[in-house]
Amino acid sequence: MLVPVADIRRVALDALSQISPPDHAAIQVDVLVEAELRGVASHGLLRLPRIIRRIRNGVTDPGAAGSHEWRKAGFLAVDGQRGLGPVVADRAIAALRERVAETGIAVAAIRNSNHIGMLGYYAENAARQGFTMIALSTSEALVHPWGGRKAMIGTNPIAIGVPTGGEPFMMDTATSVISMGEIHDHANRGAPIPEHWALDANGNPTTDASAAKFGAIAPFGEAKGYALGLGFELLVSSLAGAAIGSDVKGTLDDTNVCNKGDLFILIDGPQASLLDYLEDIRAAQPAAGFERVLIPGERGRQAKERRMHEGITLPDDIWNEIRAFAGSTEGNH
Amino acid sequence: MLVPVADIRRVALDALSQISPPDHAAIQVDVLVEAELRGVASHGLLRLPRIIRRIRNGVTDPGAAGSHEWRKAGFLAVDGQRGLGPVVADRAIAALRERVAETGIAVAAIRNSNHIGMLGYYAENAARQGFTMIALSTSEALVHPWGGRKAMIGTNPIAIGVPTGGEPFMMDTATSVISMGEIHDHANRGAPIPEHWALDANGNPTTDASAAKFGAIAPFGEAKGYALGLGFELLVSSLAGAAIGSDVKGTLDDTNVCNKGDLFILIDGPQASLLDYLEDIRAAQPAAGFERVLIPGERGRQAKERRMHEGITLPDDIWNEIRAFAGSTEGNH
């Protein structure tokens, strides 16, 4: 169903505001809508019913925004107090923004917070405000070590935001070759998955998406992506004091306290113009089979502009579920 | 030729000390020998004749160690003053180590310095001393954008070091699918390269290593590795005030001032033990075709232990060239 963006925002906010302070609900909804606008449906409205159920089940506290402890001048340890992920992240980054005026660089290491949604949201916003950001987050163990059979590592995304003198640069990628959402999507459609995407529950290669759901996703780029994903797992878990490996829970279920970690490194500036270089890449002659050379993040930004006018296509069942959550006050508007 | 490690150190130090302060030469030689010990020959003794020629040509100043400007409490801007890369890096990291006791996190952004060698050297040393490190460096444009034909991006490696409570974790990988050194090695042996490693000078796929030398290497992991490598290029170049893309020179030639950038982010701690998790991965059942699951960095560390006893195999021509450089004082020992 194609729904105007304003309607999605209003209904989603109505739904979440039933059980969350409206200002916190607004931040959470903004992150979800932003993902939908950019075509990252796996981090979009799909997640709202789970967020609501987690609040109802008492494993998410929608009123919490995290407690801050500056362990050192540039090191902010955040106990998320089971708050909504984007609310805790937003508050932590705001504290970093103030601090880097003095320290130049600061880091927030967050534990005990919920899923923060699309990581690039934070990196792009930071870059738009003139800051460089490296953002990392861990997840349930869904990825197998290179050469292994079982999932032992999170999908551990990285996002980088850099001011350019114009539209900010933003890249955002998981260290898995594909998301578990994509595998579920293939399974739902009865479509096979490409070779090398995943192993089945016994650790054998499979092209059966339904079998892959119970197995493990490959790291992207073989041994190199494995090294990177594992490095992020260790770095985030140890700095944030968060769970690690198969102990991580709470971003994919309704009942477990979420114990993954998030890490935001914020750097003041720089002021350099990167526009000429990016334009050279954009204008480069494409290889055979490619229409043009893309800059990471820009296809999503173009999709956003289009969807702001045209609306967002949501699966009927998700839209109906969100409307049902909103339903009890829908008559008040 | 198999040479005892002590002999390599002595002769390399003799060679470099002819035209460099001995304490600076010692740091440079240590980085090169460490790469040899770990089996990263592309960052080993092979590079010493070039380092010496660059000093002779006046584009490297072996007496310089870099000037430091603390722009903010945690942001160290380093002008490398054309110094030897490892000397400038070492001095910058020493300054960060002192600073993070106060700030928890600090960054050194280095320009105008020479090739720093194997990035993991710095990350592992930092982790061994109880610090977490993220290290980034740029290089000449050797990598094509995903979907492009020409080299426009550096091989832009990342290294991560994390204290574990035991032997430190260290990963170190370029964002190219393979190094230009490997491609040259294939060309020298007349061996073909695998598909998808590189394009020829016209931007067409090739398995001819000699053609690939004049073309472009692929990013690792397709679009994801491209996004990462480009993100590092922008981040390092803009923060360090270094050259970008095809303007980068001086790590592969004897005559250009080196204008790439290096970035070291140092974080105090943490104290967490990661040993159980790493042991679980090490002990995991390997997939078909794999002997065991490896932890990044550990194969290199084992190779180092072996070579410390057995010696290092160097190509005759490189060893002879280094001995010739050392020759004029060899009689003094």
Mind listing the pLDDT tens digit for each residue in A253-284?
A: 999 999 999 999 999 988 889 999 999 999 99
Q: Which amino acid is at B269?
A: G
Distance CA A59, CA A190 (A): 34
The first and second tokens of residue B236, run together, are 């390092």
Q: Grade residue A149 by pLDDT with cuts at 50, 70 and 90.
A: very high
**The dihedral formed by the CA atoms of A177, A180, A186 and A189, expressed in degrees to the nearest 10:** -170
CB-closest option in A75, A274, A296 to B104? A75
The first and second tokens of residue B69, run together, are 């400007």
Cβ separation A237–B132 shorter than 8 A:
no
Given this model, what pLDDT does residue B332 score? 41
Distance CA A240, CA A259 (A): 10
- In our burial notation (b when 16+ CB lie closer than 10 A, e otherwise), range A136-151 reads bbbbbbbbbbbbbbbb
Mean pLDDT of A137-163: 98
Cβ separation B73–A73 shorter than 8 A:
yes
Mind listing the pLDDT tens digit for each residue in B73-130?
A: 999 999 999 999 999 999 999 999 999 999 999 999 999 999 999 999 999 999 999 9
Q: Which residues does residue A198 pair with via DSSP β-bridges, in sequence order?
A: A206, A217
Distance CA B56, CA B63 (A): 13
Q: Which amino acid is at A82?
A: R
| Residue B99 to chain A, least CA–CA distance (Å) | 10
CB-closest option in A75, A104, A150 to B268? A75
| DSSP code string of B14-44 | HHHHTSS-HHHHHHHHHHHHHHHHTT-GGGS
* Partner A, chain B 1-60, Cβ-Cβ below 8 Å: none
pLDDT at A331 over 60: no
Which phi and psi (to 5°) does residue A99 adopt?
-70, -40
Residues, chain A: 333
Q: Which CATH number fits domain A2-176+219-274+298-326: 3.30.1370.60, 3.40.50.970, 3.90.1300.10, 1.10.10.10?
A: 3.30.1370.60
- In whole angstroms, how large is the CA radius of gyration of chain A? 20
Contact between A41 and A72 (Cβ < 8 Å): no
pLDDT at B331 over 70: no
Given this model, what pLDDT does residue A185 score? 87
Residues, chain B: 333
Beta strands A67-72 and A75-79 are antiparallel
In chain A, residues with a C-beta closer than 8 Å to the C-beta of B155 are none
> Which residue, A216, A183, A179, A177, is CA-closest to A200?
A216
> Which residue, B9, B34, B6, B5, is CA-closest to B22?
B9
Mean pLDDT of B37-56: 95
Mind listing the pLDDT tens digit for each residue in B206-224?
A: 999 999 999 999 999 999 9
Cβ–Cβ contact B268 with A under 8 A: yes
Cα angle A282, B182, B83 (rounded to 5 degrees) comes to 75
Mind listing the pLDDT tens digit for each residue in A52-110?
A: 999 999 999 999 999 999 999 999 999 999 999 999 999 999 999 999 999 999 999 99
Q: Grade residue B237 by pLDDT with cuts at 50, 70 and 90.
A: very high
The first and second tokens of residue A289, run together, are 């089979």
Half-sphere exposure of A207 (CA within 13 A, CB side): 4
In chain A, residues with a C-beta closer than 8 Å to the C-beta of B268 are 72, 75
The first and second tokens of residue B67, run together, are 């000037």
Domain ranges for chain A, please list them. Answer: 2-176+219-274+298-326, 185-218
Distance CA A200, CA A195 (A): 12
Sign of the alpha-carbon dihedral angle for A47, A52, A55, A61? positive
| Residue A23 to chain B, least CA–CA distance (Å) | 32
Distance CA A327, CA A291 (A): 45
Given this model, what pLDDT does residue B22 score? 98
Given this model, what pLDDT does residue A332 score? 41
Average pLDDT of chain A, as a whole number: 96
In chain B, residues with a C-beta closer than 8 Å to the C-beta of A270 are 238-239, 241
Distance CA B51, CA B54 (A): 5
